[in-house]
Amino acid sequence: MSKIRVYELAKELGISSKELISLLMEEFGVEVKNHMSVIEDEDAELIKELLAGSETKSEENKSESIVDEYEKIAEEEVKDLSKKKKRKKETGDEKAQGDESSLSDIVEIGETISVNELAVKLKQPIADVIKNLMLSGVMAAINQEITFEIAEKVAEKYDILLNKKEEETKLEEVEEIIEEDANLSKRPAIITVMGHVDHGKTSLLDAIRKAKVTASEAGGITQHIGAYTVNVNGERLTFLDTPGHEAFTAMRARGAQITDVVVLVVAADDGIMPQTVEAINHCKAANVPLVVAINKMDRPGANIDRVKQELTEYGLVAEDWGGDTVCVPVSAKTHEGIDSLLEMLILTAEMQELKANPNRRGQGTVVEAQLDKGRGAVATLLVQNGTLNLGDSIIVGSTYGRIRAMFDDSGKKIKKAGPSIPVEILGLSEVPEAGDRFNVVKDEKTARQMAESRKSKLREEHLNSAHRVSLEDFYNQIREGKVKELAIIVKADVQGSVEAIKSSLEKLSTDDVKVRVIHAAVGAITETDVTLAAASNAVVIGFNVRPDNNAVSVAEKDKVDIKTYSIIYEAIEDIKSAMIGMLEPEYKEVIVGKAEVRETYKISSVGTIAGCYILTGKINRNNDIRLIRDGIVILQSKLSSLKRFKDDAKEVNAGYECGLTIEKFNDIKTGDVIEAYTMEAIIRKEL
Ligand SMILES: Nc1nc2c(ncn2[C@@H]2O[C@H](COP(=O)(O)OP(=O)(O)OP(=O)(O)O)[C@@H](O)[C@H]2O)c(=O)[nH]1
């Protein structure tokens, strides 16, 4: 998990480090000592959301419309001009006075400064500074932080030179990291069981539970939740009860990687089968270590060596054959080898030094959730960090609630749960989705506000759709430094083609870009392939095979690029072209929104500002636009600014007012329609 320092985040948010520290401590119970303390990315994201949420709220409450705002600027400007004229008359030569002071005035500030502080430092009236900011296109409130570069421009107007102060020393960093470690303590490993159908995943999970849980629990397990914890010689292991790599990868595609170790079940009498290979590749793509359980050892046809031999074909060499893959022969039926398997899992987990901080507010992931007639939304949560307490207010994905009741894996009521412990909770307002993250926050009100703002963000994101890698834009992504590797999933009609395509594609790797086939198999392109592609940012290539219906709909939803070919050469050529940026995409135009110009304002330093109302869809600051007057396209261009009230907006939705200006164009008239559009690449190759 990546980290950020308090002062860095504070700067990003435009608040002081002190304010941020109190927010962190009060809202999230995150212990931070000073501005140099490091915080987890996830906490940073939550704080950002919290602040964004309150901003949206306050924006909604503002009564002044965008038009009022622009009117004010225009008025100010007129006043300013007449004042200047008056002053000029009075002083005769203003300019000379300015020159006198210019050389002596050098002021030192940091990377950012609030408008208020800047005014003090520049010894200028605050209103004047704000006005100057506005005239240079920056709408900032008194307490808002502005960057050094913006401050520099304003200072120039007063003939004052700004100097950037050096940032804090680095000495404290090392100490802080050691401090952080002190808060961490060992946590149980979280384990997922995978394997081919009928190789015994469910039986193995049952055998482990019976061997280790039932003994201590009178009456056995009454309550079944999506995960359970077992005790092995004083150490604990948590098993996720949804076997199979599909669920594992579906969670990963949603950004939730909760598994520390995978148990790969292979039936000793059947060997490696297609889904075993899928499971191996899904583990590799997720970079999770695996332990092989060679199951059904009680069966007459059991053959350990054959399984080990077959594993080597997938880069897994058993320890006793000189490799580092742990293989344990077991029988879920007779319980033979179950103890050794658990010991091996403990050892594998130890190698990873899994740690968490139990003394902070709980956070983790939803394992499963459903609506229960009598009890409402019921969710199985896996605590990954901190401690979850009865009565805690939590935000879960875009839903929220207060924990009314909490149960452990055997259905017993509990009051708290620490890291790696699965619990079932009641009290959520809606049913969350498996893979959703949860976080404990200060109170229910905060949780509700955050959930609301997440919901509207989700809606927006859904419209925008996350951008995944596609062959068409792969070259751009390489150029922008976003990717260094092209991950590919290959599906073909016969094994010969699978091998041929895989090796030809991998040979295309260069020093700059690696082509990596993360999964290759015979058969149609399935939903599982698409989910793996989504989770691993890969493209899917089909040769003489097609995606099934589920795969098509999931690919559309998750924006996964599927290409199908009937000539191997064409597939290779396409990838080659993608790598050197030669693949010309075919585009289609998509209208994203329409706005009507209701008022226009001319401001000499800005140009014509159009006060608009969004009729349909939405308008994004970066969209291409065209101006339509009486049904005739007058102009194709881009926006040079888009504002909601006084703030720059990235996007404005239907039903809202906005102010905008068009690049190098001022002849905007009331009644004009502005149409925003994007060019979307369309799937280029079909069979
Ligand atoms: N003899 C023997 N049979 C086993 C063993 N483990 C599982 N089986 C049997 O194998 C069959 C499949 O076992 P499951 O546990 O349902 O397999 P699974 O991998 O969970 O199957 P799916 O959930 O359908 O993917 C069942 O009939 C089990 O009784 C074992 O160790 N020995």
For the segment 375-395, the average pLDDT, to the nearest whole number, is 91
72 with 125, same domain?
yes
328 with 369, same domain?
no
132 with 162, same domain?
yes
* Range from 9-13, 77-81, 87-91, 269-273 carrying the lowest mean pLDDT: 87-91
141 with 193, same domain?
no
338 with 195, same domain?
yes
User: ∠ CA 251-256-262 to the nearest 5 degrees?
Assistant: 70
Nearest CA-CA partner of 299 in 322, 328, 269: 269
236 with 148, same domain?
no
Please give the distance, rounded to the nearest whole angstrom, from the Cα atom of residue 216 to the centre of ligand 1. Answer: 25
Q: Is residue 494 part of a domain?
A: yes
Q: Answer yes or no: is the C-beta of 331 below 6 A from any ligand 1 atom.
A: yes
Question: Residues 542, 533: contact at Cβ < 8 Å?
Answer: no
Sign of CA dihedral 123, 125, 130, 133: negative
Query: Which tokens hold the place of 520?
Result: 């290759």
pLDDT at 583: 52
Q: Answer yes or no: is the C-beta of 195 below 6 A from any ligand 1 atom.
A: yes
Q: Answer yes or no: is the C-beta of 332 below 6 A from any ligand 1 atom.
A: yes
Nearest CA to ligand 1 atom 30: 296
Helix (H, G, I), strand (E, B) or coil at 343: helix
Residue with tokens 């790696």: 420
Q: Is residue 455 part of a domain?
A: no
Q: Which of 447, 463, 493 is the endpoint of a domain?
A: 447
Q: Answer yes or no: is the C-beta of 678 below 6 A from any ligand 1 atom.
A: no
Please give the distance, rounded to the nearest whole angstrom, from the Cα atom of residue 556 to the centre of ligand 1. Answer: 35
For residue 670, name the pLDDT band (cuts at 50, 70, 90).
Answer: very high
pLDDT at 54: 52
Backbone phi and psi for residue 163, each to the nearest 5 degrees, phi listed first: -120, 140
pLDDT tens for 224-262 read 677 888 888 888 999 987 777 777 887 887 777 889 999
Nearest CA to ligand 1 atom 11: 198
Domain at 345, CATH number? 3.40.50.300
102 with 236, same domain?
no
Please give the distance, rounded to the nearest whole angstrom, from the Cα atom of residue 197 to the centre of ligand 1. Answer: 8
- Domain carrying residue 113: 60-182
What is the DSSP secondary-structure string of 407-467?
Answer: E-TTS-B-SEE-TT-EEEEEEESS---TT-EEEEES-HHHHHHHHHHHHHHHHHHHHH---
Residue with the larger pLDDT of the pair 387 and 20? 387
Q: Is residue 292 part of a domain?
A: yes
**Number of helices followed by number of strands (H, E) in the chain:** 20, 34
pLDDT tens for 56-92 read 444 444 434 444 454 454 455 445 544 544 444 444 4
- Give burial (CB, 10 Å; 0-12/13-18/19+) of 672: buried
Q: Answer yes or no: is the C-beta of 226 below 6 A from any ligand 1 atom.
A: no
| Dihedral-angle region of residue 30 (phi above 0 means left; psi in -120 to 50 means alpha; beta otherwise) | beta
Testing ligand 1's pocket by substitution, the residue of 192, 193, 202 carrying the most ligand atoms inside 8 A of its CB is: 202
Domain total of the chain: 6
Q: Is residue 614 part of a domain?
A: yes
Backbone phi and psi for residue 643, each to the nearest 5 degrees, phi listed first: -130, 145
Residue with tokens 């198999």: 521
Backbone phi and psi for residue 666, each to the nearest 5 degrees, phi listed first: -120, -5
Please give the distance, rounded to the nearest whole angstrom, from the Cα atom of residue 636 to the centre of ligand 1. Answer: 64
Q: Which of 331, 356, 381 is the endpoint of a domain?
A: 356
From the alpha carbon of 297, which atom of ligand 1 is closest? 31
For the segment 514-518, the average pLDDT, to the nearest whole number, is 89
- d(CA 530, CA 197) in angstroms, rounded, equals 19
Q: Is residue 651 part of a domain?
A: yes
Count of CB atoms situated within 10 Å of the CB of 666: 13
206 with 178, same domain?
no
Q: Answer yes or no: is the C-beta of 245 below 6 A from any ligand 1 atom.
A: no
pLDDT at 101: 39
Q: Is residue 459 part of a domain?
A: no
pLDDT at 369: 87
What is the DSSP secondary-structure string of 279-327?
Answer: HHHHHHHHT--EEEEEE-TTSTT--HHHHHHHHHTTT--BGGGTSSBEE
Please give the distance, rounded to the nearest whole angstrom, from the Cα atom of residue 332 to the centre of ligand 1. Answer: 8
93 with 168, same domain?
yes
| Dihedral-angle region of residue 430 (phi above 0 means left; psi in -120 to 50 means alpha; beta otherwise) | beta
Q: Is residue 454 part of a domain?
A: no
Q: Answer yes or no: is the C-beta of 333 below 6 A from any ligand 1 atom.
A: yes
For the segment 373-393, the average pLDDT, to the nearest whole number, is 90
533 with 660, same domain?
no
507 with 570, same domain?
yes
Please give the distance, rounded to the nearest whole angstrom, from the Cα atom of residue 626 to the centre of ligand 1. Answer: 63
Q: Answer yes or no: is the C-beta of 271 below 6 A from any ligand 1 atom.
A: no
Q: Is residue 233 part of a domain?
A: yes
Please give the distance, rounded to the nearest whole angstrom, from the Cα atom of residue 195 to the centre of ligand 1. Answer: 11
Buried residues in 57-96 as b, exposed as e (16+ CB within 10 A): eeeeeeeebbbebbbebbebbeeeeeeeeeeeeeeeeeee
Domain at 395, CATH number? 2.40.30.10
| Dihedral-angle region of residue 537 (phi above 0 means left; psi in -120 to 50 means alpha; beta otherwise) | left
Q: Answer yes or no: is the C-beta of 275 below 6 A from any ligand 1 atom.
A: no
Q: Answer yes or no: is the C-beta of 269 below 6 A from any ligand 1 atom.
A: no
- Please list, in sequence order, all residues whose beta carbon lies within 8 angstroms of the beta carbon of residue 218, skipping any fewer than 6 positions away: none
Round the CA-based radius of gyration of the chain to a whole number and report it: 30
Element holding 374 (H helix, E strand): none
CA distance readout (Å), 182 to 7, 359, 535? 22, 11, 33
Q: How close are the terminal C-alpha atoms of the chain, in Å?
A: 42
Please give the distance, rounded to the nearest whole angstrom, from the Cα atom of residue 244 to the centre of ligand 1. Answer: 13
Domain at 553, CATH number? 3.40.50.10050
State the average pLDDT for the chain: 80
Please give the distance, rounded to the nearest whole angstrom, from the Cα atom of residue 302 to the centre of ligand 1. Answer: 14
Residue with the larger pLDDT of the pair 340 and 523? 340
Q: Which of 310, 336, 356 is the endpoint of a domain?
A: 356
pLDDT at 486: 85
375 with 257, same domain?
no
For the segment 432-440, the average pLDDT, to the nearest whole number, is 87
Please give the distance, rounded to the nearest whole angstrom, from the Cα atom of residue 273 to the centre of ligand 1. Answer: 15
Q: Answer yes or no: is the C-beta of 386 below 6 A from any ligand 1 atom.
A: no
Testing ligand 1's pocket by substitution, the residue of 203, 241, 263 carrying the most ligand atoms inside 8 A of its CB is: 203
Nearest CA to ligand 1 atom 21: 198
